[in-house]
Amino acid sequence: MLGQAVLSQPAFGNQSYPPMTTEELLLHHGLPALFLVSFLASTVIPLGSEWLLAALIVKGLPVGSLVLVATLGNFLGACTTYALGLWGSALLIDKVLRLDRHKVEQATSLYRKYGCWSLLFSWLPIIGDPLCLAAGLLKLKPPTFAGLVALGKLGRYVAVAAITTASLG
């Protein structure tokens, strides 16, 4: 579990800080942590960013800023995967992304069947990263890729923020 790891923080000057769990560290650093987690969630590391968005909303950070930062981080991560498809070699794709060939073929098939509109679902777990890779492999124009992926990812974070805010009452 993410919150179980305890990180020791170095003392600066005469101050010393008590150890923090990974979860506490991420919550403490707010927007930069959300950007990093959202970026990584859309690239090579299989993790989710929705929990951190919800936690930071509960903590009281501005919802609009949180949604914008999460969307930007996740979008840029997807652009990295797209760029690897566009310009990367098969070896680079296999070694860096570590995507199962079957998943890439499945995403490419889905992309060919439904066209670029399938990128609206690039936020979905398991299939999202391969969809972005397929768009690059199939040489989709960057503006089309950017518009559809940004819209899909924004929609997901707006939904998470709305549900979290509504649950707060």
For 53-110, the pLDDT digits (tens) are 999 999 999 999 999 999 999 999 999 999 988 988 776 666 666 666 777 777 778 7
Give the model's pLDDT for residue 1: 41
Global pTM reads 0.80
Q: Return the closest-CA partner of residue 71 out of 28, 145, 123.
A: 123
Give the model's pLDDT for residue 12: 53
Residue with the two structure tokens 């939904």: 159
Q: Rounded to whole angstroms, how far apart are CA atoms 49 and 74?
A: 9
Q: Rounded to whole angstroms, how far apart are CA atoms 117 and 109?
A: 13
Give the model's pLDDT for residue 56: 95
Domain locations in the chain? 2-168
Q: Rounded to whole angstroms, how far apart are CA atoms 72 and 76?
A: 6
E strand spans, the chain: 6-7, 20-21
Give the model's pLDDT for residue 72: 98
Give the model's pLDDT for residue 5: 47
The answer to whether residue 117 scores a pLDDT higher than 70 is yes
The answer to whether residue 20 scores a pLDDT higher than 90 is no
The answer to whether residue 111 scores a pLDDT higher than 50 is yes
Q: Rounded to whole angstroms, how far apart are CA atoms 54 and 23?
A: 13
* Residues 52/33, Cβ–Cβ less than 8 Å: yes
Reported as a pLDDT band with limits 50, 70 and 90, residue 132 is very high
Give the model's pLDDT for residue 166: 96
Greater confidence (111 vs 152) lies with 152
Give the model's pLDDT for residue 3: 47
